C-alpha cells in the first residue's frame, strides 16, 4: 500500500503532493514501484494534528481521485480512501475507490458503516487510543493493562460491530495502529506479538513507515542524541515490515514502495510463503 498524502502537514511528506498534478504523478511513481494499493488521504493523522473540515478534505482529495480514474490508475491499483468522514468516503467510492481506511474504526462518523456496507467496499479498522490531536500527549498518555491484549479485544469488538452493520467479514482488514496512542515500547510489543492479532483471522495491515519510534531506535544505535529525521528511517521501516510479514501481516502501508517491496519479496522467498506477485493479487470489488 503506497501512501499518497494530499495534505500540507503530514509528518513525512506534508505539502509535497498537495496539488493534483503532483499527487497523480506520485501515484504513478508508486504504482511503477509495485504498489498494489494507493491510499489517498486529505487529513493528516500525525500526533498533534488538528482536524480539517469535510469541505476542505473533499477539496483536497476529490480532484486527485477523479484524475486517478481518468488516468487509468484505478485499473493499475486498488484505490483506498484514508478518511473518517462518510461524505468523503462516499465521494471517493463514487470515483472508483474500493477500500475505506478508517483510523477511527467506524467510530468517528455514525454513517460510515452504512456507506461501506451499501457500497460493498472493503474497509480497514484501526486501533487508536484517543484521537490524533491528543493521542500522544502526556495528559492523556498512552496506558494499557497489556497493549496486545487490549488492542486485540478492541479489534475483535470493532470487527463484530462492522459485521452487525452489514459489512461482509471477508471485506474487513485490521490494523493495530502502530504509533497511534502508543509509546515505542507499545509499538515494539505489538510487532513482537503480531501473531496474536493475526489469529483473529482477518488480513492485518501494518503501518510503521518512517515513524518516530524508528528514529529514536536508529539514533540510539548510532549514539546520536536526537532521533533521526524521517528521511533516515527507511532501514527501520524495512526491518519492521519484514518482521511483520513473518508474524502474519499481509498489507504494508509505506512511503518507500520499491525498497520495502524488494525486502518483502526476499523475506517471503526465505519463508516460502505469504507473497503474491504484483498483477496476480485477488481483489474484491
Which residues have a catalytic role annotated?
A: 211, 253
- Return d(Cα 30, Cα 77) in angstroms, integer: 10
- Return d(Cα 133, Cα 20) in angstroms, integer: 26
How far is it between the farthest Cα atoms of the chain?
53
Cα 17 to chain centroid, rounded: 17
C-alpha cell at 154: 478492541
- Return d(Cα 56, Cα 229) in angstroms, integer: 29
Angle between helices 184-192 and 212-222 (to 10 degrees): 100
DSSP letters, 44-99, are --STTPPP--HHHHHHHHHHHHHHHHHTTHHHHSEEEEE-S-HHHHHHHHHTT--E
- Return d(Cα 71, Cα 69) in angstroms, integer: 5
> Strand, helix or coil at 151?
helix
DSSP letters, 233-244, are -HHHHHHHHHHH
> Strand, helix or coil at 200?
coil
* CB count in 10 Å sphere of residue 61: 27
Amino acid at each position: 500500500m503506497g501512501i499518497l498524502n494530499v495534505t500540507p502537514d503530514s509528518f513525512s511528506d506534508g505539502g509535497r503532493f498537495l496539488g493534483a498534478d503532483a499527487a497523480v504523478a506520485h501515484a504513478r511513481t508508486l504504482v511503477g514501484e509495485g504498489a498494489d494499493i494507493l491510499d489517498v488521504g486529505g487529513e493528516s493523522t500525525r500526533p498533534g494534528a488538528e482536524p480539517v473540515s469535510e469541505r476542505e478534505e473533499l477539496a483536497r482529495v476529490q480532484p486527485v481521485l477523479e484524475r486517478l480514474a481518468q488516468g487509468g490508475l484505478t485499473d493499475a491499483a486498488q484505490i483506498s480512501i484514508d478518511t473518517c468522514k462518510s461524505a468523503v468516503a462516499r465521494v471517493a467510492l463514487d470515483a472508483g475507490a474500493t477500500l475505506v481506511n478508517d483510523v477511527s474504526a467506524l467510530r468517528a462518523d455514525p454513517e460510515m458503516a452504512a456507506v461501506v456496507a451499501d457500497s460493498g467496499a472493503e474497509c480497514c479498522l484501526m486501533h487508536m487510543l484517543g484521537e490524533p490531536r491528543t493521542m500522544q500527549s502526556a495528559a492523556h498518555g498512552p496506558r494499557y493493562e497489556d497493549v496486545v491484549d487490549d488492542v486485540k479485544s478492541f479489534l475483535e469488538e470493532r470487527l463484530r460491530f462492522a459485521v452487525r452493520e452489514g459489512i461482509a467479514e471477508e471485506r474487513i482488514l485490521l490494523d493495530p495502529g502502530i504509533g497511534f496512542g502508543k509509546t515505542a515500547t507499545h509499538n515494539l510489543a505489538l510487532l513482537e506479538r503480531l501473531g496474536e492479532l493475526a489469529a483473529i483471522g482477518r488480513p492485518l495491515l501494518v503501518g510503521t513507515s518512517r515513524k518516530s519510534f524508528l528514529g529514536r531506535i536508529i539514533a540510539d544505535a548510532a549514539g546520536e542524541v536526537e532521533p533521526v529525521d524521517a528521511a533516515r528511517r527507511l532501514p527501520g521501516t524495512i526491518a519492521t515490515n519484514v518482521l511483520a510479514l513473518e508474524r502474519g501481516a499481509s498489507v504494508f502501508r509505506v512511503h518507500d514502495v520499491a525498497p520495502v517491496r524488494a525486502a518483502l519479496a526476499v523475506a517471503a522467498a526465505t519463508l516460502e510463503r505469504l507473497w503474491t506477485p504484483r498483477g496476480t493479487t485477488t481483489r474484491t470489488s
